[in-house]
Structure 1
């Protein structure tokens, strides 16, 4: 649930109208429910009635916060993978990897860079908007091997097609 409980001004004003001996147990029950999700069972019936009226609001806010947290996490995860064109640029800047490709495929750097640009355009044309570098390198090596590579987004590799 929530780390810091939210307590509306209207709630405070309404609780202030209750007898003094009911106020603090109700406030504690509301805060406990917001932080841990456990309901108090020893409330006075009037305090329990007020709590039951506030509970749907607390639940709705918790659900909205959960959805918002998931959206933020998904967005952060999405941003971990660079844009496909950027992935190509990052591979071009990896001199050690470029030398390895030059030796392995007997190509000069400008040819490798041209193939990287070609691969980036193929991936983008096939809807791959973001791609982790290690998967980009796998596709590049398959591409340089001359295999006909399917550039469809693969869920096991966490590719992110555009539009999601």
Structure 2
């Protein structure tokens, strides 16, 4: 869109600029949603690893056992909550991806239309130039043929 806009395409170019901004914003939203998703996945993995490492009671008195069970219960509750947040983050990331895909598609459609219009104008310019060249060639041919008649007929 850095090219100079043809006057006939000013309105469509404005639409393209708006859609370009929307596509950019939705891409940034997708990046943020994916970053958030990865953070939740890392927290879930860390909590699951912690739960595996600390779930076995080796030895100790009843107070140690009760403390271990309470900390494991709290760890499991944190893990359940983090799984719920991870699920929400996945949904948000999928929605952000769909929004970006749609915005990218809309932008591509407008850019494609602008390109087609520019190609049609180039083709029309080429046809006009060809007509002009044909006219010049025809005029030259007529002059040469008249000159040949005048010189040929006098001899």
With a CA cutoff of 8 Å and minimum separation of 6, indicate the structure with the bigger relative contact order. Answer: 2
TM-score (norm 2): 0.35
Q: Hey, which of these two has a bigger chunk of helix by percent? A: 2
TM-score (norm 1): 0.34
